[in-house]
Chain A
């Protein structure tokens, strides 16, 4: 039986889709059969971030309505074996994700895949609730910024109250904090909440710290999960987070500002 992971945050723009793409790619790279699903009905974007927008024929709603089979809608990634993308629909009807339909799709996917990564829409409406309902694990994507932390706290409350596991009184959804767009330099200056601050406020175990990095935009520009960029610090950080998720011990990186040697400081700046 596959494990369902929801990538959620409450707040928009914190990096849910980037994280879903990187995480699913990371799991597949390690040999796990993985599918990543876009739950943002009406605002499809995972296809762009994954670079398969021109290969979308059928979507989630088509499958739920019986207009296409699951296998017709699943897009096989061209770069990574074991990775599939399940695009959402561009319909304006946000309530098109019907409960029974989604239940059936998730059951089928659990039988076929090891990991099912659900990219949640922002907010706490139908789409977001549907995305988190089936979760066995949740990755709470949070920026070190007050509105993001508050919204994450809200989503944690909703996971504890409205998930299938909560409803059926099973063991609770496994929760992980992923701190994104982190800038150790700004934390040092006292301008940004630190990892410790956010951990303390949300009391969640930390899965990883993704440093603020221009390579994230570069990756989405070209439709490549950032984890595939060997030169990207954010990509390395996602790789660590995936390893920790499946039980490996990895030391936290990007907690402190990078030490620059004097020479690199002078010449590096002139060069860049």
Chain B
């Protein structure tokens, strides 16, 4: 980055803004399409399983279906906070 760019930051080109916006909106719309409407149910069931072991909130599990080349990628993200306590029934024996 030149000194000129530092003092006069250029706006990102509008085409890259368009690309980013499209990728976000299409990822969302594709997940609602036929065949992938199982995502909310999957998310619920995963939550049920995970909470058996660790206490997590509903919004800490994110499930999404994306595309990479010719393959579909099912992405499951579970956020486990540091402070999460094991659910008592399944706590490791002391």
Contacts and interface: CB of A to CB of B under 8 A. Distances in A.
Given A149-B22, A157-B33, A201-B22, A190 B70 contact: no
Interface string B1-35: 00000000000011110110111011001100111
Contacts of A189: 13
B88 interface: no
Given A187-B15, A191-B14, A191-B15, A201 B26 contact: yes
Contacts of A194: 15
Interface string A147-167: 001100110010001000000
Interface in A168-218: 187, 189-194, 197, 201, 203
Nearest to B25: A150
A146 interface: yes
A187 B21 CA distance: 17
Contacts of B30: 153, 157
Contact of B16 (A153, A157, A161, A190): A190
B93 interface: no
A252 B64 CA distance: 35
Contacts of B18: 145-146, 193
A203 B70 contact: yes
The number of chain A residues touching the other chain, given as a range, is 10 to 19
Contacts of A192: 15
Given A191-B13, A191-B15, A193-B15, A154 B29 contact: yes
A181 B9 CA distance: 31
Given A161-B34, A203-B69, A203-B70, A150 B19 contact: no
B29 A146 contact: no
A197 B19 contact: yes
B2 to A, nearest CB: 18
B1 to A, nearest CB: 17
B67 interface: yes
B51 to A, nearest CB: 33
B22 to A, nearest CB: 6
A194 B19 CA distance: 9
B19 A193 contact: yes
Contacts of A145: 18
A153 B32 CA distance: 13
A165 to B, nearest CB: 15
Given A187-B15, A190-B14, A194-B15, A157 B25 contact: no
B21 A153 contact: no
Contacts of A191: 13-15
Contacts of A146: 18, 21-22
Contacts of B33: 157, 161
Given A150-B25, A153-B30, A157-B34, A201 B19 contact: yes
Given A145-B18, A146-B22, A191-B14, 19 more contacts: A146-B21, A149-B22, A150-B22, A150-B26, A150-B29, A153-B26, A153-B29, A157-B30, A189-B13, A190-B14, A190-B15, A190-B16, A191-B13, A191-B15, A193-B15, A197-B19, A201-B19, A201-B22, A203-B70
